[in-house]
Chains A and B, each alone.
Chain A
């Protein structure tokens, strides 16, 4: 059975801090790892990682994958209150890409 574990489960920081969110996985047939941001409603796509050691960046967010150690990290620098959300990590399972196994999520709270 595929498994995804995120840590920490929750994190409280102040604006301007840098945070690192962790995601470890066990999956039978690895194809990719996905990061999403969820603010009350539908998750919004952040990154898809398929290759080890190649950093993906989008503004203040970045992510990297280590396929040997089976984990990924999501970094957020210079955090803002708008970064407060649940961050979800997921891996596709089986033959359909929408059949995802999710981690528990990390609840990030950024105080002014």
Chain B
């Protein structure tokens, strides 16, 4: 079945360690996104990529890094520079820029807890 796979679903890390969250899609979508969700807040955009080998910062990119070497993969690294990394992270994809709003697909999310 087509969809977006995020891993791991739950991750615990010590403060100061970098951690990488995986996002893979087999929908042949050009664009991919990473969102962060904190309790009591909606989703906030971290990074997005509209095409392979290109990505742009979203609203809260500080302390994060991404790569887009393959169309189907968009991993997110939470670095030690991110001050409050504990959150729920959602990956999403869409066919292309200018698609319709109901063709945005979300992964199941990854819960990151930093202790």
Bitwise interface map of B from 44 to 87 toward A, beta carbon under 8 Å scored 1, else 0: 11001010000000100000000000000000000000000000
CB pair A88–B100 under 8 Å, yes or no, is no
Separation of A93 and B58 alpha carbons in the complex (Å): 11
Select one of A41, A92, A95, A102 contacting B43, CB under 8 A. Answer: A102
Which chain A residues lie closer than 8 Å to B102 at the CB level?
34, 45, 48
Q: Of B31, B40, B41, B109, which is within 8 A of A98 by CB?
A: B31
CB distance from A99 to the nearest CB of B (A): 6
Number of B residues near A (Cβ < 8 Å) is: 29
A42 close to B40 (CB less than 8 A): no
Question: Which residues does chain A contribute within 8 Å of B43, judged by CB atoms?
Answer: 43, 88, 90, 100, 102
Chain A neighbourhood of B109, CB < 8 A: 41-42
Q: With A and B bound together, what is the CA distance between A42 and B107 in angstroms? A: 6
Within 8 A of B (CB), among A56-104: 88, 90, 92, 95-104
Question: What chain A residues lie within 8 Å of B42 (beta carbons)?
Answer: 4, 6, 88, 90, 102-105
A22 at the interface (CB under 8 A from B): no
In the complex, B23 has a CB within 8 A of chain A: no
Q: How many A residues are at the interface, by size bracket?
A: 20 to 34
Taken residue by residue from 26 to 37, chain B's Cβ proximity to chain A (1 for < 8 Å, 0 otherwise) reads as: 000001110100
Residues of A within 8 A of B48 (CB): 96, 98-99
A13 at interface, CB cutoff 8 A: no
Whether B44 pairs with A98 at a CB distance below 8 angstroms is no
